[in-house]
């Protein structure tokens, strides 16, 4: 694997090279992630899951956590 290959290299890259690489990685990765976030927020904003409030009670339906079990008991 590349790990072993790198380990044999005494003079890999100037130090700024790795920092530049991290900068590229950050910009591209965050750009990709935010790209999908923007797309969803624009076209699909009504389908955002209120995670933490909902409780799965039955396949295909869900209720807010504080009301779900109570609905069943009634």
- Which residues form the interface with another protein (CB under 8 A)? 1-3, 5-9, 11-13, 15, 17-19, 21-22, 24-26, 28-30, 32-37, 39-40, 44, 47-56, 59-62, 65
Q: Residue 72 CB, nearest distance to another protein (Å)?
A: 15
Q: Which is nearer to another protein, 26 or 70 (CB)?
A: 26
DSSP assigned state of 32: H
Alpha-carbon gap, residue 29 to 31, rounded angstroms? 5
Alpha-carbon gap, residue 3 to 30, rounded angstroms? 25
Contact 63, 54 (CB under 8 A): yes
Q: Residue 13 CB, nearest distance to another protein (Å)?
A: 6
């Amino acid at each position: 694997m590349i790990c072993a290959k790198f380990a044999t290299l005494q003079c890999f890259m100037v130090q700024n090279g790795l920092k530049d690489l991290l900068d590229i990685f950050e910009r591209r990765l965050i750009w990709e992630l935010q790209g999908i976030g923007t797309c969803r927020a624009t076209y699909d904003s009504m389908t955002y899951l209120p995670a933490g409030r909902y409780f799965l009670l039955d396949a295909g339906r869900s209720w807010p956590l504080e009301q779900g079990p109570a609905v069943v008991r009634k």
